[in-house]
Structure 1
Amino acid sequence: MTVKEFKLPDVGEGVAEGELVSWLVAPGDRVEEDQPVAEVETDKALVEVPSSYDGVVEELFVEEGEMVPVGDVIISFRVDEEGGGEETPGDDAAGDDAETEAEPEVDSAPADEPEPEPDAAAGGPGDAEPGELDTPSGRTFAPPSARRLARELGVDVASVDGSGPGGRVTEADVRAHAEGDAGSAEADGPDDGPEPRPSPTPTDAGSAGRKSAVSKRGDDGSADASATTSAGGPEPAGRDTTLATPATRKVARDRGVDLDDVPTDETRDGEAFVTADHVRAYADALESAAESTPEPGAAEVDEGAEPTATDVASAGSTTPVSGDETVPYRGVRRTIGKQMERSKFTAPHVTHHDTAEVDALVEARAELKPKAEAAEVKLTYMPFVMKAIVAGLKEHPYLNSELREDDEEIVLKGEYNLGIAVATDAGLMVPVVEDVDEKGLFELAAEVNDLASRARERKLKPAEMKGGTFTITNFGAIGGEYATPIINYPETAILGLGAIEERPVVRERDGEREVVPAPTLPLSLSIDHRVVDGAVAAEFANTVMERLENPLLLLNE
């Protein structure tokens, strides 16, 4: 068996990082090539990441909810040497060569960090220790977490002896090297060298080994646990290794519990295995013991004692205790925010409001619904509106344009690709229906329903949200009449639809005017006033309303 590490691939054009939303596999699971192993949310969409190997999940290196740069290792697999994933069947030497060639790309230092030179005192390949990896390039193999820790502790990662597979440097190796240097410096006497290593953070406690979502090794940071034990609390287990799922580790972090201290009778692969229920029970027991212990007076406090992670968090926290919740501003929500900010502060918006009386449209849809249902199509008003908009864009092409400021030119688009804003749990997504002028009502209805459904399930591809020339937002589906929609920049216009409802309208009958209820559709048209004048916007709205009030005119579109 060979352990293969898998990096987060480029999951979309221009995407540099993504949030690992959820793992679809766990350590010990067998996976096949192209099987989805994780869901990652980028600033464009939620995508599934497929495995490149046939094998067994060895280790998860990223917690759910963590932001991961493209190219970072997120998971490793135990792969059979014959027929496993990217490996080519052959002798052992060939397999070793393939692995050696692949690893520098995975674990090389970031592009902006110069590669450390090999230590001349370490000797040549012939002098290497049995567990040390022989690399002609002089590279040191270490995961990003170990390299980050080395930078924080002022350690040259190239000088660290690796204890991991193939001589890979782990976080434990970096800490041991740093502590060894500190001990040597203390023995040699004080000097003005690097500052002392900071105390481990709550995430580091019990995690002296490689940062992993599966197992954490090293110091258990049990000061708080032993204090609670002496007060009658639960006895900490004090293990060196603990297996747990990413969700369980998140619960442990939230409750301030060291997984290595949580008691458990369950095992997996010969190691202790902790569940979220174990963590909660242990945390509840600790809290109960703490509540039953009187707080020490001022004279009883040990002023020389190091503050615990809980003390630091409590002292430095500015979060009110009234139940406020913080939500990360990233992914799709951050992209929406940046796009709205760019549009609003770039294009001077003007919004034109009008109302169409749509008696005939309501009747036309009612007549066509049975035929649509026979064709297994859900017919809404949206296809009629899309066709009416295309008619308006053909007569007033400046609303189907883009202003290119750098080139000082306005591009009048020859295609009619309409974006449909869809509200999802992640925020507003705008899938694009291409070539609306070439499609019929039923075809448009089927495509809009499919795109909207996949948008809500967050299964849209990034390409399906590009290339729009005009956008429609239907806030009336939720309830409302008028709004001031923000243009989907660099487009020059967006049309907002209110709810179709019966409202009072003035009609003339037998030479007399009277107020009667009639179905109406409120319209809110926002334009980029640099490109479109108010008069042109009103003429466009009149064209759209004319088609909606007389749907037979749509037969020409």
Structure 2
Amino acid sequence: MARYELKLPKMGESVAEATITNWLKQPGDHISADEAVLEIATDKVDSEVPSEVSGTLVEQLFQKDDVVKVGQTVAIIEVEGGVVVDAPSAPASIEQPTPQVAAAAVEIEKTVETARQFTAAPVSSGTPPTKEEYHNSDRFYSPLVKNIALQEGISMSELESISGTGAEGRVTKNDILAYVEYRKNAPQQAAPAVSEPVQSTPQAQPVQSQPVQQVAPVQEAPKPAAQAEPAKVPVSVNGQDEIVEMDRMRKLISKYMVESVQTSAHVQSFIEVDVTNIWDWREKNKDKFEKREGEKLTFTPIFMEIVARALKDFPLMNIAVDGDYIIKKKAINLGMAAALPNGNLIVPVIKNADQLNLIGMAKAVNDLGNRAKAGKLKPDDTQGGTYTVTNVGTFGSVFGTPIINQPQVGILALGAIRKVPAVIETPEGDFIGIRKKMFLSHSYDHRVVDGALGGSFVKRVADYMEAFDVDRDF
């Protein structure tokens, strides 16, 4: 029997890790080639990991909610016959290590054993944590961090208080080891029994001055978490209420929305647009377009084409903010906010939107929209956006105040198209007529986008819409 290592596949240039959300196969289950074995999730996209071979799943190397790096082996599949594919190193190579490797292994074992003995004593209060306890958190912890916390007897509340220095504030190996060192030193200054022998030696004076240097930087870790945590308002619940936990995607959306509002100074500009020409042109050409190109022609690709054109006129709307720096983006990558069947939101990105004609834009919009609804988006499909458009008119909203998709600086909401009475100016005079109109709602980051720029941009979009050529071809 050959053994095949199922690895976490590469999911785009900007994706380095994913979280296991569900195992679809259990040890002992038969797996067919190209059959999904587990479900994973990145920050915005959920997807499946299929097996490239047929066989039997013999081992799961990670558990649900574990964070796995791209390229790591997540499972072992036993394949009938054939050669070993991506198999682990042969036992023979492990049984005969070089002298350098053997010496290093002995030193590591000594270090681990010393660390266990050294840190076991301070951690004696309370009930020791269990492995299950670390799964009851919305915060991501790597298996290594969880194992260190379990071995050192760090409670869930302590782990939550540690400020991480990793991506998105995650606790790294160095963070938790620094906390362990802090816990190890802290009791020595608090317990008088420990300090008495030290005072009897000439080195007692410098020992008292050192804790000020060591403890101060380590104490910074718990403080930001405590200060950032808002006061929770108690919620009244009775027997008729139903309590439903947010799914992972909703938790992420909630987190990103709050962070965006806390990061950007949101300002809105609104403008009403006459889109009668666009309405009439689409009604005239949508059947012909679908017959010739095999794609449905909605209003979205038309509007996206116009927004991309306006961004070329106002490149300072196509920027990102990184601390005190402004990054001017060369590519115009339009995010297209889309609602999923479960009510969640996702923003696939149309890359180089300014280089697409209407046909290319329609194909891109339909492809991303269909794959979003089917849950077939790849992680890279939601990366690299420089500006976002959301169609709130789909749900009948006239206008809205959308939240900026960080680190972008603007987002445009398209309202519902309505038939309204309007004053029509002609050389023969003004008269009242029925027109198709909609509102554009432009949210922008006032830290870097002034009202003149934000207002001028949305006005340019409106001008392009109203000047739409009814005789154009597609």
Deviation at 1:383, TM superposition (A): 2.0
Task: Tell me which residue corresponds to 2:195.
Answer: none
Report if the CA contact (8 A) 2:44-2:379 is conserved: yes
Higher relative contact order (Cα pairs below 8 Å, separated by 6+ residues): 2
For residues 77 and 26 of structure 1, what CA distance do their matches in structure 2 show? 9
Cα shift readout 1:157-213 (whole Å, capped 9, x = no counterpart):
xxxxxxxxxxxxxxxxxxxxxxxxxxxxxxxxxxxxxxxxxxxxxxxxxxxxxxxxx
For residues 322 and 75 of structure 2, what CA distance do their matches in structure 1 show? 43
Going from structure 1 to structure 2, the CA distance change for 1:114 and 1:534 (only over 3 Å counts) comes to farther
Going from structure 1 to structure 2, the CA distance change for 1:335 and 1:153 (only over 3 Å counts) comes to closer
Task: Tell me which residue corresponds to 1:234.
Answer: none
Structure 2: unaligned runs, 5 residues or longer: 97-104, 115-142, 155-235
Task: Tell me which residue corresponds to 2:67.
Answer: 69
Task: Tell me which residue corresponds to 1:429.
Answer: 346
For residues 493 and 28 of structure 1, what CA distance do their matches in structure 2 show? 49
Deviation at 1:523, TM superposition (A): 0.6
Going from structure 1 to structure 2, the CA distance change for 1:20 and 1:114 (only over 3 Å counts) comes to farther
Task: Tell me which residue corresponds to 1:39.
Answer: 39
Note the aligned Cα RMSD (angstroms): 4.1
Structure 1: unaligned runs, 5 residues or longer: 89-93, 102-107, 118-142, 155-317
> What pairs with 1:355-370 in structure 2 (closer than 5 Å)?
355-370=272-287
Task: Tell me which residue corresponds to 2:123.
Answer: none
Task: Tell me which residue corresponds to 2:336.
Answer: 420
Deviation at 1:19, TM superposition (A): 3.8
| 1:334 partner SS | helix
Counterpart code for 2:327: V
Counterpart code for 1:420: M
Tell which deviates more after alignment, 410-419 or 23-32. Answer: 23-32
Report if the CA contact (8 A) 2:336-2:349 is conserved: yes
Task: Tell me which residue corresponds to 1:266.
Answer: none
Going from structure 1 to structure 2, the CA distance change for 1:87 and 1:26 (only over 3 Å counts) comes to closer
* Residue among 262, 265, 268 paired with 1:345: 262
* Residue among 327, 331, 349 paired with 1:411: 327
Cα shift readout 1:409-464 (whole Å, capped 9, x = no counterpart):
x3333322211111113722111112222211111001110011111222222222
For residues 472 and 453 of structure 2, what CA distance do their matches in structure 1 show? 24
Which of these two proteins has the greater Rg computed from alpha carbons?
Answer: 1
Cα shift readout 1:234-291 (whole Å, capped 9, x = no counterpart):
xxxxxxxxxxxxxxxxxxxxxxxxxxxxxxxxxxxxxxxxxxxxxxxxxxxxxxxxxx
Going from structure 1 to structure 2, the CA distance change for 1:153 and 1:498 (only over 3 Å counts) comes to closer
> What pairs with 1:1-400 in structure 2 (closer than 5 Å)?
1=1, 13=14, 16-21=17-22, 23=24, 27-32=28-33, 35-51=35-51, 54-58=54-58, 66-70=64-68, 75-80=75-80, 82-87=82-87, 96-97=91-92, 115-116=112-113, 151=151, 321-328=239-246, 330=248, 332-374=249-291, 375-400=293-318
Counterpart code for 1:448: V
For residues 401 and 147 of structure 1, what CA distance do their matches in structure 2 show? 41
Report if the CA contact (8 A) 1:353-1:524 is conserved: yes
Cα shift readout 1:327-365 (whole Å, capped 9, x = no counterpart):
2453x3333333322322222111111111111111111
For residues 544 and 11 of structure 1, what CA distance do their matches in structure 2 show? 35
**For this pair of structures, how many residues does the alignment match?**
352
Task: Tell me which residue corresponds to 1:131.
Answer: none
Deviation at 1:45, TM superposition (A): 1.0
For residues 113 and 3 of structure 2, what CA distance do their matches in structure 1 show? 25
Q: Structure 1-normalised TM-score? A: 0.54
| 1:70 partner SS | strand
Going from structure 1 to structure 2, the CA distance change for 1:553 and 1:340 (only over 3 Å counts) comes to farther
Going from structure 1 to structure 2, the CA distance change for 1:62 and 1:415 (only over 3 Å counts) comes to closer
Task: Tell me which residue corresponds to 1:492.
Answer: 409
Deviation at 1:367, TM superposition (A): 2.5
